Structure 1
Protein backbone atom coordinates (compact mmCIF):
# COMPACT_ATOMS: atom_id res chain seq x y z
CA UNK A 1 0.00 0.00 0.00
CA UNK A 2 1.34 3.44 -0.93
CA UNK A 3 -0.80 5.43 1.52
CA UNK A 4 -3.98 4.75 3.41
CA UNK A 5 -5.61 3.14 6.40
CA UNK A 6 -5.53 -0.46 7.55
CA UNK A 7 -8.29 -1.69 9.85
CA UNK A 8 -8.67 1.65 11.63
CA UNK A 9 -11.38 2.43 14.14
CA UNK A 10 -12.09 5.72 15.92
CA UNK A 11 -14.53 6.31 18.76
CA UNK A 12 -15.76 9.44 20.49
CA UNK A 13 -16.76 8.18 23.92
CA UNK A 14 -19.13 5.28 23.35
CA UNK A 15 -19.85 6.26 19.74
CA UNK A 16 -17.78 4.43 17.15
CA UNK A 17 -17.31 6.81 14.23
CA UNK A 18 -15.01 4.68 12.04
CA UNK A 19 -15.41 0.92 12.05
CA UNK A 20 -12.46 -1.26 11.06
CA UNK A 21 -11.94 0.73 7.86
CA UNK A 22 -9.30 -0.12 5.28
CA UNK A 23 -8.59 2.27 2.41
CA UNK A 24 -5.82 2.59 -0.16
CA UNK A 25 -5.09 5.97 -1.78
CA UNK A 26 -3.65 6.03 -5.30
CA UNK A 27 -0.43 8.07 -5.64
CA UNK A 28 -0.22 11.24 -7.73
CA UNK A 29 -4.00 11.47 -8.06
CA UNK A 30 -6.76 13.58 -6.51
CA UNK A 31 -9.19 11.68 -4.30
CA UNK A 32 -12.49 13.16 -3.06
CA UNK A 33 -14.06 11.78 0.11
CA UNK A 34 -17.85 12.14 0.15
CA UNK A 35 -20.74 11.00 2.31
CA UNK A 36 -23.60 12.36 4.39
CA UNK A 37 -22.93 14.37 7.54
CA UNK A 38 -21.77 12.06 10.31
CA UNK A 39 -20.49 9.36 7.96
CA UNK A 40 -16.91 9.80 9.22
CA UNK A 41 -15.30 11.85 6.42
CA UNK A 42 -13.45 14.40 8.54
CA UNK A 43 -12.58 11.80 11.15
CA UNK A 44 -10.97 9.62 8.48
CA UNK A 45 -8.94 12.54 7.11
CA UNK A 46 -7.79 13.61 10.58
CA UNK A 47 -6.81 10.05 11.42
CA UNK A 48 -4.78 9.72 8.20
CA UNK A 49 -3.07 13.01 9.05
CA UNK A 50 -2.30 11.74 12.56
CA UNK A 51 -4.38 14.47 14.15
CA UNK A 52 -6.51 11.79 15.79
CA UNK A 53 -5.44 8.61 17.51
CA UNK A 54 -6.96 5.48 16.09
CA UNK A 55 -6.88 1.73 16.47
CA UNK A 56 -5.25 0.09 13.46
CA UNK A 57 -2.53 1.53 11.24
CA UNK A 58 -2.00 4.48 8.92
CA UNK A 59 0.30 3.23 6.17
CA UNK A 60 2.85 5.04 4.03
CA UNK A 61 4.90 3.04 1.53
CA UNK A 62 3.96 -0.24 3.19
CA UNK A 63 5.02 0.76 6.69
CA UNK A 64 3.18 2.19 9.68
CA UNK A 65 3.52 5.92 10.30
CA UNK A 66 4.32 4.96 13.89
CA UNK A 67 7.79 4.04 12.65
CA UNK A 68 8.47 7.57 11.35
CA UNK A 69 9.42 10.68 13.32
CA UNK A 70 7.12 13.69 13.41
CA UNK A 71 9.50 15.61 11.16
CA UNK A 72 9.62 12.76 8.63
CA UNK A 73 5.83 12.62 8.60
CA UNK A 74 5.58 16.41 8.12
CA UNK A 75 7.80 16.13 5.06
CA UNK A 76 5.54 13.44 3.64
CA UNK A 77 2.04 14.51 4.75
CA UNK A 78 0.45 17.97 5.07
CA UNK A 79 -3.00 18.36 6.62
CA UNK A 80 -5.37 21.33 6.60
CA UNK A 81 -8.23 20.68 9.07
CA UNK A 82 -11.53 22.57 9.05
CA UNK A 83 -10.67 24.85 11.95
CA UNK A 84 -7.24 26.50 12.27
CA UNK A 85 -6.25 28.99 14.98
CA UNK A 86 -4.12 31.81 13.58
CA UNK A 87 -2.38 34.56 15.65
CA UNK A 88 -4.11 37.87 15.04
CA UNK A 89 -0.99 39.89 14.21
CA UNK A 90 0.60 37.44 11.79
CA UNK A 91 0.91 38.54 8.17
CA UNK A 92 -0.08 36.46 5.18
CA UNK A 93 3.56 35.95 4.18
CA UNK A 94 4.55 34.93 7.71
CA UNK A 95 1.74 32.39 7.88
CA UNK A 96 2.55 30.85 4.50
CA UNK A 97 6.24 30.70 5.42
CA UNK A 98 5.39 28.43 8.38
CA UNK A 99 4.77 25.73 5.80
CA UNK A 100 8.53 25.58 5.14
CA UNK A 101 9.33 24.45 8.69
CA UNK A 102 9.79 20.72 7.88
CA UNK A 103 12.44 21.61 5.29
CA UNK A 104 14.54 23.89 7.48
CA UNK A 105 17.81 22.77 9.03
CA UNK A 106 18.25 22.40 12.78
CA UNK A 107 18.58 25.81 14.49
CA UNK A 108 17.91 27.64 11.21
CA UNK A 109 16.68 31.10 12.17
CA UNK A 110 15.48 32.45 8.85
CA UNK A 111 14.19 31.40 5.48
CA UNK A 112 16.72 30.32 2.90
CA UNK A 113 16.74 31.84 -0.57
CA UNK A 114 15.30 28.58 -1.84
CA UNK A 115 12.48 28.81 0.71
CA UNK A 116 11.70 32.40 -0.31
CA UNK A 117 11.63 31.52 -4.00
CA UNK A 118 9.33 28.58 -3.39
CA UNK A 119 6.99 30.61 -1.20
CA UNK A 120 6.69 33.31 -3.85
CA UNK A 121 6.04 30.70 -6.53
CA UNK A 122 3.23 29.09 -4.52
CA UNK A 123 1.70 32.44 -3.51
CA UNK A 124 1.61 33.61 -7.10
CA UNK A 125 -0.02 30.32 -8.13
CA UNK A 126 -2.77 30.78 -5.53
CA UNK A 127 -3.17 34.53 -6.17
CA UNK A 128 -2.14 35.48 -2.62
CA UNK A 129 1.14 37.27 -3.41
CA UNK A 130 -0.52 40.68 -3.65
CA UNK A 131 -1.84 40.37 -0.06
CA UNK A 132 1.42 39.10 1.45
CA UNK A 133 1.86 42.12 3.78
CA UNK A 134 -1.74 42.07 5.04
CA UNK A 135 -2.61 40.70 8.46
CA UNK A 136 -4.54 37.46 8.29
CA UNK A 137 -7.06 38.89 10.78
CA UNK A 138 -8.00 41.58 8.21
CA UNK A 139 -8.91 39.09 5.48
CA UNK A 140 -12.35 37.92 4.43
CA UNK A 141 -13.31 34.32 5.11
CA UNK A 142 -12.59 33.35 1.53
CA UNK A 143 -9.22 35.09 1.46
CA UNK A 144 -8.22 33.48 4.74
CA UNK A 145 -9.10 30.02 3.45
CA UNK A 146 -7.04 30.60 0.32
CA UNK A 147 -4.05 31.66 2.44
CA UNK A 148 -4.35 28.57 4.66
CA UNK A 149 -4.38 26.35 1.59
CA UNK A 150 -1.31 28.21 0.32
CA UNK A 151 0.46 27.49 3.62
CA UNK A 152 -0.25 23.76 3.22
CA UNK A 153 0.97 23.80 -0.37
CA UNK A 154 4.14 25.62 0.74
CA UNK A 155 4.95 22.62 2.90
CA UNK A 156 5.62 20.80 -0.40
CA UNK A 157 4.70 17.44 1.10
CA UNK A 158 4.16 14.40 -1.06
CA UNK A 159 0.64 13.93 0.31
CA UNK A 160 -1.79 16.82 0.83
CA UNK A 161 -4.91 16.30 2.97
CA UNK A 162 -7.59 18.99 3.09
CA UNK A 163 -10.86 19.00 5.03
CA UNK A 164 -13.45 20.94 3.01
CA UNK A 165 -10.91 23.24 1.31
CA UNK A 166 -13.59 25.23 -0.55
CA UNK A 167 -15.41 26.34 2.61
CA UNK A 168 -16.14 30.12 2.58
CA UNK A 169 -15.18 30.44 -1.08
CA UNK A 170 -17.52 31.71 -3.77
CA UNK A 171 -18.06 29.46 -6.77
CA UNK A 172 -15.34 31.10 -8.89
CA UNK A 173 -12.71 30.66 -6.19
CA UNK A 174 -13.94 27.13 -5.47
CA UNK A 175 -13.24 26.23 -9.08
CA UNK A 176 -9.84 27.95 -8.92
CA UNK A 177 -8.75 26.02 -5.84
CA UNK A 178 -9.98 22.63 -7.05
CA UNK A 179 -8.27 23.14 -10.40
CA UNK A 180 -5.09 24.21 -8.61
CA UNK A 181 -5.14 21.05 -6.48
CA UNK A 182 -5.66 18.91 -9.55
CA UNK A 183 -2.77 20.67 -11.30
CA UNK A 184 -0.56 20.01 -8.26
CA UNK A 185 -1.32 16.31 -8.51
CA UNK A 186 -0.74 16.21 -12.25
CA UNK A 187 2.21 18.53 -12.73
CA UNK A 188 4.05 18.22 -9.40
CA UNK A 189 3.14 14.56 -8.81
CA UNK A 190 1.38 15.21 -5.50
CA UNK A 191 -1.20 12.96 -3.90
CA UNK A 192 -4.19 15.13 -2.96
CA UNK A 193 -7.06 13.94 -0.77
CA UNK A 194 -9.93 16.20 0.27
CA UNK A 195 -13.31 16.04 1.95
CA UNK A 196 -15.95 17.86 -0.07
CA UNK A 197 -19.73 18.26 0.02
CA UNK A 198 -20.38 19.44 -3.53
CA UNK A 199 -20.86 16.17 -5.40
CA UNK A 200 -20.68 17.68 -8.88
CA UNK A 201 -17.41 19.42 -8.14
CA UNK A 202 -16.03 16.21 -6.68
CA UNK A 203 -16.96 14.37 -9.87
CA UNK A 204 -15.52 17.10 -12.07
CA UNK A 205 -12.12 17.55 -10.43
CA UNK A 206 -11.25 14.31 -8.67
CA UNK A 207 -9.62 11.30 -10.28
CA UNK A 208 -10.88 8.93 -7.61
CA UNK A 209 -13.74 8.95 -5.14
CA UNK A 210 -14.25 7.45 -1.68
CA UNK A 211 -17.78 7.11 -0.30
CA UNK A 212 -18.31 6.57 3.42
CA UNK A 213 -21.52 5.34 4.98
CA UNK A 214 -22.10 4.92 8.71
CA UNK A 215 -18.39 4.96 9.46
CA UNK A 216 -17.54 2.27 6.93
CA UNK A 217 -16.08 2.27 3.44
CA UNK A 218 -19.04 2.01 1.08
CA UNK A 219 -17.31 2.45 -2.28
CA UNK A 220 -13.85 3.44 -3.53
CA UNK A 221 -12.43 3.74 -7.01
CA UNK A 222 -12.36 5.86 -10.14
CA UNK A 223 -15.07 8.51 -10.36
CA UNK A 224 -16.62 6.77 -13.38
CA UNK A 225 -17.00 3.59 -11.33
CA UNK A 226 -18.20 5.11 -8.04
CA UNK A 227 -20.31 8.08 -9.14
CA UNK A 228 -23.41 6.17 -10.25
CA UNK A 229 -27.12 6.70 -9.68
CA UNK A 230 -27.34 3.46 -7.70
CA UNK A 231 -24.42 4.29 -5.40
CA UNK A 232 -25.68 7.83 -4.76
CA UNK A 233 -29.09 6.45 -3.88
CA UNK A 234 -27.63 3.93 -1.42
CA UNK A 235 -25.16 6.35 0.18
CA UNK A 236 -27.25 9.54 0.27
CA UNK A 237 -30.83 8.30 -0.05
CA UNK A 238 -31.29 10.42 -3.17
CA UNK A 239 -32.92 9.51 -6.46
CA UNK A 240 -30.79 11.29 -9.05
CA UNK A 241 -30.19 11.33 -12.75
CA UNK A 242 -26.67 11.73 -14.12
CA UNK A 243 -25.49 13.41 -17.27
CA UNK A 244 -22.34 15.07 -18.57
CA UNK A 245 -20.94 18.53 -17.98
CA UNK A 246 -21.28 20.52 -21.22
CA UNK A 247 -17.71 21.81 -21.12
CA UNK A 248 -15.66 19.08 -19.42
CA UNK A 249 -17.85 16.07 -20.26
CA UNK A 250 -17.39 14.89 -16.67
CA UNK A 251 -20.25 13.16 -14.87
CA UNK A 252 -22.65 15.40 -12.98
CA UNK A 253 -26.01 15.24 -11.27
CA UNK A 254 -28.57 16.75 -13.65
CA UNK A 255 -31.72 16.00 -11.66
CA UNK A 256 -32.75 15.17 -8.09
CA UNK A 257 -36.06 13.70 -7.02
CA UNK A 258 -36.90 14.97 -3.56
CA UNK A 259 -40.00 14.65 -1.42
Structure 2
Protein backbone atom coordinates (compact mmCIF):
# COMPACT_ATOMS: atom_id res chain seq x y z
CA UNK A 1 0.00 0.00 0.00
CA UNK A 2 2.91 2.35 0.68
CA UNK A 3 4.21 1.79 -2.85
CA UNK A 4 0.74 2.23 -4.34
CA UNK A 5 0.20 5.53 -2.55
CA UNK A 6 3.62 6.70 -3.68
CA UNK A 7 2.71 5.83 -7.26
CA UNK A 8 -0.54 7.78 -6.94
CA UNK A 9 1.36 10.99 -6.11
CA UNK A 10 1.12 13.13 -9.23
CA UNK A 11 3.49 15.80 -7.91
CA UNK A 12 6.29 16.16 -5.38
CA UNK A 13 5.05 16.29 -1.78
CA UNK A 14 6.72 16.41 1.62
CA UNK A 15 7.16 13.17 3.53
CA UNK A 16 4.92 14.63 6.26
CA UNK A 17 2.11 15.03 3.72
CA UNK A 18 2.80 11.51 2.42
CA UNK A 19 2.54 10.15 5.98
CA UNK A 20 -0.71 12.03 6.51
CA UNK A 21 -2.09 10.56 3.28
CA UNK A 22 -1.20 7.05 4.41
CA UNK A 23 -2.82 7.65 7.78
CA UNK A 24 -6.01 8.92 6.16
CA UNK A 25 -6.16 5.82 3.97
CA UNK A 26 -5.74 3.31 6.78
CA UNK A 27 -8.24 5.03 9.10
CA UNK A 28 -10.88 5.51 6.41
CA UNK A 29 -10.59 2.21 4.52
CA UNK A 30 -10.43 -0.14 7.50
CA UNK A 31 -13.42 0.09 9.79
CA UNK A 32 -11.58 -1.50 12.72
CA UNK A 33 -8.65 0.96 12.59
CA UNK A 34 -9.19 3.93 14.91
CA UNK A 35 -5.74 5.50 14.50
CA UNK A 36 -2.67 5.10 12.32
CA UNK A 37 0.89 5.97 13.33
CA UNK A 38 3.27 6.53 10.43
CA UNK A 39 7.04 6.95 10.89
CA UNK A 40 9.32 7.91 8.00
CA UNK A 41 13.07 8.54 7.85
CA UNK A 42 14.47 10.36 4.83
CA UNK A 43 18.12 10.03 3.89
CA UNK A 44 18.74 13.05 1.67
CA UNK A 45 20.91 12.87 -1.42
CA UNK A 46 22.92 15.97 -2.29
CA UNK A 47 23.83 16.90 -5.85
CA UNK A 48 27.54 16.67 -6.61
CA UNK A 49 29.53 19.66 -7.80
CA UNK A 50 32.53 19.10 -10.07
CA UNK A 51 34.87 22.07 -10.60
CA UNK A 52 32.17 24.36 -9.26
CA UNK A 53 29.46 23.07 -11.61
CA UNK A 54 26.44 21.00 -10.57
CA UNK A 55 26.54 17.49 -11.96
CA UNK A 56 23.55 16.45 -14.07
CA UNK A 57 23.20 12.99 -12.56
CA UNK A 58 25.76 12.77 -9.73
CA UNK A 59 24.72 12.72 -6.05
CA UNK A 60 26.23 11.85 -2.67
CA UNK A 61 24.44 10.70 0.44
CA UNK A 62 24.08 13.43 3.04
CA UNK A 63 24.99 12.87 6.68
CA UNK A 64 21.91 13.92 8.66
CA UNK A 65 18.43 12.41 8.37
CA UNK A 66 15.00 14.02 8.16
CA UNK A 67 12.43 12.23 10.33
CA UNK A 68 8.70 12.45 10.90
CA UNK A 69 6.06 10.73 13.00
CA UNK A 70 2.40 11.33 12.13
CA UNK A 71 -0.65 10.11 14.02
CA UNK A 72 -3.97 10.27 12.20
CA UNK A 73 -7.21 9.34 13.98
CA UNK A 74 -10.49 8.32 12.40
CA UNK A 75 -12.08 11.40 13.97
CA UNK A 76 -9.76 13.62 11.94
CA UNK A 77 -7.49 14.47 14.88
CA UNK A 78 -3.86 14.87 13.87
CA UNK A 79 -0.41 14.93 15.46
CA UNK A 80 2.65 15.80 13.35
CA UNK A 81 6.22 15.64 14.66
CA UNK A 82 9.28 16.28 12.50
CA UNK A 83 12.95 16.14 13.30
CA UNK A 84 16.56 15.79 12.33
CA UNK A 85 19.09 13.12 13.30
CA UNK A 86 22.86 12.94 12.96
CA UNK A 87 23.60 16.63 12.31
CA UNK A 88 27.31 16.66 13.22
CA UNK A 89 28.70 20.14 13.92
CA UNK A 90 31.99 21.44 15.31
CA UNK A 91 33.43 24.84 16.09
CA UNK A 92 36.95 25.77 17.09
CA UNK A 93 38.83 28.84 18.21
CA UNK A 94 39.57 31.45 15.59
CA UNK A 95 43.18 32.48 15.06
CA UNK A 96 44.21 35.48 13.02
CA UNK A 97 46.35 38.63 12.88
CA UNK A 98 45.26 42.16 13.70
CA UNK A 99 45.64 44.55 10.79
CA UNK A 100 47.41 47.34 12.69
CA UNK A 101 49.42 45.81 15.50
CA UNK A 102 50.14 42.49 13.80
CA UNK A 103 49.53 40.73 17.09
CA UNK A 104 48.32 37.18 17.18
CA UNK A 105 44.73 37.17 18.37
CA UNK A 106 42.84 34.22 19.78
CA UNK A 107 39.05 34.55 19.88
CA UNK A 108 37.70 31.62 21.84
CA UNK A 109 34.26 30.49 20.76
CA UNK A 110 33.72 27.60 23.13
CA UNK A 111 34.37 26.87 26.78
CA UNK A 112 32.90 25.10 29.78
CA UNK A 113 32.31 27.37 32.74
CA UNK A 114 29.74 28.38 35.32
CA UNK A 115 28.77 24.81 36.18
CA UNK A 116 27.74 23.70 39.67
CA UNK A 117 30.69 22.77 41.88
CA UNK A 118 30.92 20.75 45.07
CA UNK A 119 33.69 19.19 47.14
CA UNK A 120 34.04 16.36 44.62
CA UNK A 121 34.49 18.61 41.58
CA UNK A 122 37.99 18.45 40.13
CA UNK A 123 37.26 19.63 36.57
CA UNK A 124 38.67 23.13 36.01
CA UNK A 125 36.70 25.74 34.10
CA UNK A 126 38.00 26.65 30.67
CA UNK A 127 37.39 29.45 28.20
CA UNK A 128 38.94 27.54 25.34
CA UNK A 129 37.95 24.14 24.00
CA UNK A 130 36.79 22.52 20.81
CA UNK A 131 33.01 22.06 20.75
CA UNK A 132 31.71 19.12 18.73
CA UNK A 133 28.34 17.42 18.92
CA UNK A 134 25.76 15.52 16.91
CA UNK A 135 22.38 17.22 17.01
CA UNK A 136 19.20 15.21 17.27
CA UNK A 137 16.09 17.38 17.29
CA UNK A 138 12.35 16.81 17.11
CA UNK A 139 9.56 19.34 17.11
CA UNK A 140 5.78 19.13 17.08
CA UNK A 141 3.50 21.23 14.93
CA UNK A 142 0.45 22.95 16.36
CA UNK A 143 -1.95 21.48 13.78
CA UNK A 144 -4.47 19.30 15.62
CA UNK A 145 -6.80 18.26 12.79
CA UNK A 146 -6.61 17.30 9.14
CA UNK A 147 -8.52 20.44 8.22
CA UNK A 148 -5.89 22.70 9.84
CA UNK A 149 -2.97 21.58 7.66
CA UNK A 150 -1.58 24.46 5.53
CA UNK A 151 -2.50 24.14 1.88
CA UNK A 152 0.84 25.56 0.75
CA UNK A 153 2.73 23.01 -1.40
CA UNK A 154 5.84 21.56 0.27
CA UNK A 155 5.06 23.52 3.43
CA UNK A 156 6.69 20.93 5.70
CA UNK A 157 9.80 20.69 3.49
CA UNK A 158 10.28 24.44 3.71
CA UNK A 159 9.71 24.48 7.45
CA UNK A 160 12.20 21.64 7.98
CA UNK A 161 14.94 23.45 6.05
CA UNK A 162 14.24 26.70 7.91
CA UNK A 163 14.33 25.02 11.33
CA UNK A 164 17.60 23.33 10.40
CA UNK A 165 19.03 26.70 9.34
CA UNK A 166 18.01 28.35 12.63
CA UNK A 167 19.61 25.54 14.62
CA UNK A 168 22.86 25.77 12.66
CA UNK A 169 22.98 29.59 12.61
CA UNK A 170 22.42 29.75 16.37
CA UNK A 171 25.12 27.16 17.02
CA UNK A 172 27.80 28.88 14.93
CA UNK A 173 26.84 32.56 15.09
CA UNK A 174 27.80 35.12 12.41
CA UNK A 175 30.37 33.91 9.82
CA UNK A 176 33.14 36.34 10.79
CA UNK A 177 32.90 36.74 14.57
CA UNK A 178 30.94 33.63 15.57
CA UNK A 179 29.33 33.38 19.00
CA UNK A 180 30.81 32.23 22.31
CA UNK A 181 29.41 29.08 23.89
CA UNK A 182 29.98 28.74 27.67
CA UNK A 183 28.68 25.15 27.52
CA UNK A 184 26.80 22.70 25.34
CA UNK A 185 23.85 23.12 27.72
CA UNK A 186 23.74 26.87 27.16
CA UNK A 187 24.03 26.58 23.38
CA UNK A 188 21.36 23.86 23.25
CA UNK A 189 18.96 26.09 25.19
CA UNK A 190 19.65 29.03 22.87
CA UNK A 191 19.02 26.87 19.80
CA UNK A 192 15.67 25.64 21.12
CA UNK A 193 14.63 29.18 22.11
CA UNK A 194 15.53 30.49 18.65
CA UNK A 195 13.29 27.91 16.95
CA UNK A 196 10.31 28.69 19.21
CA UNK A 197 10.81 32.43 18.69
CA UNK A 198 10.97 32.10 14.90
CA UNK A 199 8.16 29.61 14.25
CA UNK A 200 4.85 30.12 16.08
CA UNK A 201 3.43 26.86 14.69
CA UNK A 202 6.04 24.77 16.54
CA UNK A 203 5.96 23.66 20.18
CA UNK A 204 7.48 21.83 21.92
CA UNK A 205 10.98 21.12 20.64
CA UNK A 206 13.39 18.52 22.01
CA UNK A 207 17.15 18.61 21.49
CA UNK A 208 19.82 16.04 22.27
CA UNK A 209 23.47 17.04 21.87
CA UNK A 210 26.12 14.64 23.23
CA UNK A 211 29.65 15.86 23.79
CA UNK A 212 32.08 14.60 21.16
CA UNK A 213 35.48 15.15 22.71
CA UNK A 214 38.71 16.08 20.94
CA UNK A 215 41.42 16.29 23.58
CA UNK A 216 44.66 18.22 22.93
CA UNK A 217 47.76 16.01 23.09
CA UNK A 218 50.55 16.86 25.53
CA UNK A 219 53.54 14.48 25.71
CA UNK A 220 56.58 14.89 27.94
CA UNK A 221 59.49 12.91 29.36
CA UNK A 222 60.55 12.82 32.98
CA UNK A 223 63.19 15.46 32.39
CA UNK A 224 61.82 17.78 29.75
CA UNK A 225 59.28 18.18 27.00
CA UNK A 226 60.65 16.48 23.91
CA UNK A 227 57.82 17.45 21.57
CA UNK A 228 56.18 20.83 21.94
CA UNK A 229 52.45 20.71 21.28
CA UNK A 230 50.43 23.89 20.97
CA UNK A 231 46.88 22.55 20.78
CA UNK A 232 47.57 21.44 17.22
CA UNK A 233 47.19 17.67 17.62
CA UNK A 234 43.96 16.21 19.04
CA UNK A 235 42.77 12.79 20.16
CA UNK A 236 39.11 11.92 19.42
CA UNK A 237 37.51 9.99 22.29
CA UNK A 238 34.16 8.20 22.46
CA UNK A 239 34.07 7.56 26.21
CA UNK A 240 33.42 9.00 28.62
CA UNK A 241 31.06 11.66 27.30
CA UNK A 242 28.06 13.61 28.47
CA UNK A 243 24.68 13.45 26.76
CA UNK A 244 22.85 16.76 27.07
CA UNK A 245 19.10 16.86 26.45
CA UNK A 246 16.33 19.41 26.93
CA UNK A 247 12.72 20.02 25.95
CA UNK A 248 11.31 23.52 25.59
CA UNK A 249 7.69 24.50 25.01
CA UNK A 250 5.56 27.60 25.11
CA UNK A 251 3.51 28.51 28.16
CA UNK A 252 0.28 26.47 28.22
CA UNK A 253 1.60 24.28 25.40
CA UNK A 254 0.52 20.65 25.53
CA UNK A 255 3.57 18.43 26.14
- Relative to total residues, which structure has the larger strand share, 1 or 2? 2
TM over 0.5: no
Q: TM-score range by the shorter chain?
A: under 0.3
Scaled by the length of structure 2, the TM-score of the pair is: 0.25
Scaled by the length of structure 1, the TM-score of the pair is: 0.25
The structure whose RCO (Cα within 8 Å, separation 6+) is larger is 1
Q: Work out which of the two has the higher radius of gyration on C-alpha atoms and give 1 or 2.
A: 2
